[in-house]
Amino acid sequence: MPHDPVVIGVDSSTQSTKALFADAATGRTLAVARAPHRVTGSGGARESDPEEWWRALCEAVTTGLEESGVPASAVRGIAVAGQQHGLVVLDRDGRPLRPALLWNDTRSAPQATALTGRLGGPRAWTERTGSVPVAAVTAAKWEWLRENERATAGRCAAVRLPHDFLTERLAGVAVTDPGDASGTGWYSTATGAYDREILQLLGLEAELLPTVADTGATRVGALTASAADALGLPPGVAVAAGTGDNMSAAVGLGLGGAGLLDHPVLSLGTSGTVFAATRNRPADPALSGFAAADGTHLPLACTLNCTLAVDRIAGLLGLDRDDAAPGGEAVLLPYLDGERTPDLPAASGLLTGLRHATTRQQLLGAAYEGAVVTVLRALDEVLRACGLDPAAPEVAARPLRLIGGGARGRTWVETVRRLSGRPLVVPAGTELVAVGAAALAEAAVSGADPVSVATAWGAGEGSELPAVERDLASWERIVSVLDGAGATLLGGP
């Protein structure tokens, strides 16, 4: 009996790859299969073998076929959403020359600082690319490679982002999309193309880079015979351009030109991010001024230390992650891997305000508070980038959408409510990056707008939590530490 058409959305994240099988008409999730990959490195180094990403993608898709009972012939489209910024360098045969430098590899911080000055400062960068180089940005990682592994850089025949690498393995074409490209540091959100002057500054030939498709929903080809065989799918399945993970999450939430504009989102995962889809092109040095997958814009701020850092504190204290209480006088900034926002790549964790009466539960609560305040501080800047006044009552009453693994944690949710004072919407869908990728895949097949597809699927709908009175005392205590002596202690200027 014929099966209803199915699309596959792939979320290739820092720690694992997920393949979500969705009914193309309704968006109903038929299966989500996962496969892990490793992150290696100590100190500031964070690396992964791109071949592990490909093996994990193949494993997740083949497992998903088995678990869902979907016949391979029913699959009509696939798209990849990948972790942003990672630097993948390939030889002439498309094989990695070395492990990929990941977004949270902070070794490239000095190169980011040097690049900022070489182009004329932060404003010059934001006017052209929308963002100022930080350690996470691909351009800084390329500079680190050129300075520290000159022979490898010299042998490089292709430069890719993680999602580009996987899309090329699927369809055999070197292509990216404006959303993920806008996180490289060499793509101009002002012109919608690679910036030739910046490429020259980096000593990077444009021929080494993938072509930029119109949007992440653009059909760029079909599964090659070898990819189809590895995945257990028929050749000819449509492959979309795909996008970066944050852009894909926005699609999955129904954010963009055909859906919700200027509605803020807070994502609690390995990193903490706050973003919104808007028609305004952001050019604020305090933010990453990304392009969105549907042709709008995605001002975003990202922190390095979120759920994993707080889980680490819980482990050190011998507590379950929800065995926490408000921090009281204690302030704990869990910057265990340096920090990106604020830009403190040399930072380490900071604890102050400890008293005899301080409990383990309060210390864990203080870690939650430090992580939440760090990402919420950028919320007002994101709203301003959307052309909104954060203090306006109608803006303050706009719900904050809470996603990511932390959105399923009681303490995370309550800490965000208490410190933001905003109403929350917690979407029912748990795999919004993969859902967004599935919507991109369906749009590539049907020609529909991907945000309209995701909105019709209802992926962004969920429970609503009313605002509670904001805990301004805790907020001000934490901010005073961060903005005062704490900045110096954390490795700031």
Residue 12, SS3 per DSSP: strand
Which of the residues 105, 180, 245, 449 is marked catalytic? Answer: 245
Percent composition of the chain: helix, strand, coil (DSSP 3-state, to 5): 40, 20, 40
Whole-angstrom Cα distance, residue 132 to residue 146? 20
Whole-angstrom Cα distance, residue 42 to residue 279? 40
Whole-angstrom Cα distance, residue 137 to residue 118? 16
Residue 451, SS3 per DSSP: helix
Helix (H) / strand (E) element for 419: namely helix 410-420
Whole-angstrom Cα distance, residue 58 to residue 273? 29
CB 170 within 8 A of CB 224: yes
One-letter amino acid at 161 equals L
Helix (H) / strand (E) element for 188: namely strand 187-188
Q: Give the distance, in angstroms, between the CA of residue 489 and the centroid of all CA atoms in the same chain.
A: 28
Helix (H) / strand (E) element for 9: namely strand 6-12
> What angle do helix axes 162-171 and 50-68 make, rounded to 10 degrees?
60
Whole-angstrom Cα distance, residue 360 to residue 341? 27
Tokens for 132, please give them.
Answer: 């100022």
CB 238 within 8 A of CB 77: yes
CB 170 within 8 A of CB 80: yes
Asked about 245 being catalytic, the answer comes back as yes
Cis before residue 342, ω within 30 degrees of 0?
Answer: yes
Residue 466: exposed, middle, or buried by beta-carbon count in 10 A (0-12, 13-18, 19+)? exposed
The number of residues making up the chain comes to: 493
Residue 470: exposed, middle, or buried by beta-carbon count in 10 A (0-12, 13-18, 19+)? middle
Q: List 70's β-bridge partners, or say none.
A: none
Tell me which residues are annotated as active site: 245
